[in-house]
Structure 1
Amino acid sequence: MKQFHYSLQSVLEYENGVLDKLKGEYAERMKLVNDKKNFIAQLQKKSSDLLDEFDAVKHEGASIERFLLYSSMIGRIEEQIRKEQERLARLEDFAAKKKEEVVAANIDVSKFEKLKEKRREEYHIQVQKDQENFIDEFVSYQSKTRDNAS
């Protein structure tokens, strides 16, 4: 009995390769997103620490220059946080687009795998029918040879 051969196996393998590549690219983009989130969290912590220091300086009393210095540093960090959040939004958009590509590729692979299973089932049904036909022919031949021998 010959083995099952899926005629679209090379296409399925190609689609799996595309899917694996897209998953890798998506993982890279998600790493960039997570790195950016961590960086923003560090900036927010730094801003919070500066605000706490500024509050302490206000209660102690300090020169106007020192107040202006703290205000300036806090303003710059808040501006940097805003810019980094914009970059994060763009990175998240890129990651979302890549995720859509992964989903589409996954659907393609799934279609080919389902088709392969359907064809495999059809093949096994045909093999079973062929075996039944062979047995019927064999029994029929045996009956004829016995009838001819008598």
Structure 2
Amino acid sequence: MYFRENLKRIRKEKKINQRELAELTGLSFSMISKLESGEQSNPTLETINKIADGLKVDPGELVYKLAIEVKKYEQFDHYFNSDVGLLMKFIVSQLKSDNHTLLFDGEALDDEKKELLRSSLNVTYEMVKLINKKKKGS
């Protein structure tokens, strides 16, 4: 379902062009190009596995990543309720992790942007905690 978008995004994140991916996978450049453009929309399982191997990702990342991300965050929803602090801590933990690709406004975050967001959220979290503490003390 998300194959075309995920293939292009992951390939670009890994700084691999279509010709390089074709070489890594043993597939033709034409096939890679058609898969990304949507001209070829139903890749075989063998093709998906070859591309996943070439990109060094789990095949599921190519096919289901967006759906998996939505479900993953939905499962945490009951923990957060309306506690923004818990949500901020969760986001910071994700920014520290290298286990997956994080997007911001649809664009992949590089290490520098992750660090900037992580630092900003930590500072904001600590400032709000301090303000709340002062209000309780008044």
TM-score, scaled to structure 1? 0.29
Which protein, 1 or 2, shows the higher relative CO under an 8 Å CA cutoff with sep ≥ 6? Answer: 1
Bigger helix share: 1
